[in-house]
Structure 1
Amino acid sequence: MGDRLISKLNLRDDLTSAEQDILADVLGPERHHPAGVDLVEPGARPDHVTLLVSGFCGRYGILRGGRRVFSAINVAGDFIDLFGLLIPQLDYGVVALTPCVTASAPHEKLRRISEDHPHLTRMLWLETALEGAVHREWLLGMGQDAVGRLARFLCEIVARLDVAGLVEDNAFELPLTQTQLSQILGMTSVHLSRTLKALRATGSVAWQGHHIQILDRERLMAAGQFDPTYLRPYREAV
């Protein structure tokens, strides 16, 4: 269950075999969730942290009137509420955008890791720092035009899925509906349709249903003004 998490952490710094065993040991059994349910309810006070084993989910806040505003997407290998280990009450919700599989790690066991395994603790701390970086980049992206916003979103998703081993030949599956994408990007569905057409016209992507192939990553990155540095996709001693 924790293979994608361990692979992701190992890309940034080496985990010992003992540390990998510890991470595997803290995770409980898999749970399956249909699309549309909250994996984390706004205002929750969890006693565990949730690992996304497969699927896509979205972190959101709620405006007056009930409209959701998304601030991040989670992919396989992400802890979706690691902040809850230190913040008793969460100020966001997380919804399953697709059918999802999760596994939970009790706070009690994670606190024990923080006391006994400082390097592994720093690796998990890095995960929370990267989540903060994603939030800042999403705010920056909202200042772009529609094509730039969509291009930046795709650049981030393909980079993170690549780390999780879910990209092959520059192609991946993004099983989100047009309504979900428009909500995530802060557009109307009509505006999103026009933006998709404009992005395809750049020759940087081929998008058919849920299947996306990056034809020219450099051109896509230029369109999205995307710099992957904030995702720390390289080895760096922690």
Structure 2
Amino acid sequence: MLPPERSLHVDYPIVVTDHLIAKLATRVELSAADRVAIAALPCKLRTIDQSTYMLREGQRPLRCAFVIDGFAYRQKLTPDGEREIVSILMPGDFIDLQNLFLEESDHDVQALTRITVAEIPIPALREIVAVSPKIATALWIEALVEASIHREWLLNVGRRNAKMRLAHLLCEFSARLRASSLSDADGSYELPMTQEQMGDALGLTPVHVNRVLRALETDGLITRRKRQIGVVDWCALRDAAEFNERYLHLTQTRP
């Protein structure tokens, strides 16, 4: 069972489905009928406090959630409680799209910050997928892009050194937030992760994360002010990380 949640439930405004339409329209060219069908989805807007579990391993999922605001993360736990953060979920991401056809969750999802999501009952999404090939294609692309990001994270933890791993994570945040117009005009952004959480995503200790952040700052690649990250030299940071944003498929749009 999930722990009690301090969350606000309200009927959704039309702007919620506008977010969904805008997201799926970046993947395929939607017809007027597709847009009407998406707008008719029975969404529920839900705001969830930081650190709240949104999905637990072994839970039978009933809804798919779409991030409107805030951040979450997927994690896997070992039997003795050791944690590996396996992906970060940002505004515009589906949290549990894979559970559209899977009967049981195989990982946990936890709110990284206070987060607002639009929840859609799984039967409603299954129905819209069955009648609209374009919407089905858009959701399939979303799942494929998420798999691509997982492959890059596996490479990052398995084959890059500590400095490259951390630089790569900072580059990914910068690229994804910039593509969603969520970074500042100068490209800076607030990093929502603690050093402990970054360590759990990169296979490093918090002390090692702090040391590498200082090194990137000393090298003139980034600036730090509390959790605000400024990218001083994008090309140098990208080179230090061996970062190529191809795996994010940010321009993936199919007419």
TM-score range, shorter chain: over 0.9
1:88-131 deviations in whole A, cap 9, x for unaligned? 11111111111111121111111111111101110000000011
Tell me the secondary structure at the aligned position of residue 168 of structure 2: helix
Q: Which residue of 2 aligns with 1:214?
A: 231
- 2:228 maps to amino acid: H
Q: Which residue of 2 aligns with 1:189?
A: 206
> Structure 1 residues 25, 65: closer, same or farther in 2, change over 3 A?
same
8 Å contact kept, 1:5–1:78: no
1:113 pairs with 128, 132, 153, which one?
Answer: 128
8 Å contact kept, 2:20–2:38: no
Q: Which residue of 2 aligns with 1:172?
A: 189
Q: Does 1:237 align with 2:219?
A: no
Q: Which residue of 2 aligns with 1:85?
A: 100
Distance 1:21 1:40 in 2: 29
Q: Does 1:157 align with 2:168?
A: no
2:87 pairs with 69, 72, 77, which one?
Answer: 72
Q: Does 1:62 align with 2:86?
A: no
> Structure 1 residues 2, 190: closer, same or farther in 2, change over 3 A?
farther
> Structure 1 residues 27, 177: closer, same or farther in 2, change over 3 A?
farther
8 Å contact kept, 2:67–2:92: yes
More divergent stretch after superposition (215-224 vs 87-96) = 215-224
Distance 1:6 1:162 in 2: 20
Aligned positions of 1:19-30 closer than 5 A: 19-30=34-45
Tell me the secondary structure at the aligned position of residue 222 of structure 1: helix
Higher relative contact order (CA 8 A, sep 6+): 1
> Structure 1 residues 3, 174: closer, same or farther in 2, change over 3 A?
farther
* Structure 1: gaps spanning 5 or more residues: none
TM-score (norm 2): 0.87
8 Å contact kept, 1:49–1:80: yes
Distance 1:68 1:90 in 2: 17
More divergent stretch after superposition (123-132 vs 201-210) = 201-210
Shift, 1:199, TM fit: 1.2
Identity, % of aligned positions: 34
RMSD of Structure 2 on Structure 1 (CA): 1.7
1:130 pairs with 145, 155, 169, which one?
Answer: 145
Q: Give the length in aligned residue pairs.
A: 238
- 2:217 maps to amino acid: R
Distance 2:19 2:214 in 1: 33
Q: Which residue of 2 aligns with 1:42?
A: 57
More divergent stretch after superposition (168-177 vs 71-80) = 168-177
1:180-227 deviations in whole A, cap 9, x for unaligned? 222222211111110101111232222211211222222111111111
Tell me the secondary structure at the aligned position of residue 30 of structure 1: strand
Distance 1:27 1:199 in 2: 46
Tell me the secondary structure at the aligned position of residue 26 of structure 2: helix
Tell me the secondary structure at the aligned position of residue 26 of structure 1: coil
* Structure 2: gaps spanning 5 or more residues: 1-15
Distance 1:96 1:218 in 2: 32
> Structure 1 residues 91, 31: closer, same or farther in 2, change over 3 A?
same
- 1:153 maps to amino acid: L
8 Å contact kept, 2:65–2:118: yes
Distance 1:178 1:23 in 2: 39
More divergent stretch after superposition (150-159 vs 74-83) = 150-159
TM-score (norm 1): 0.93
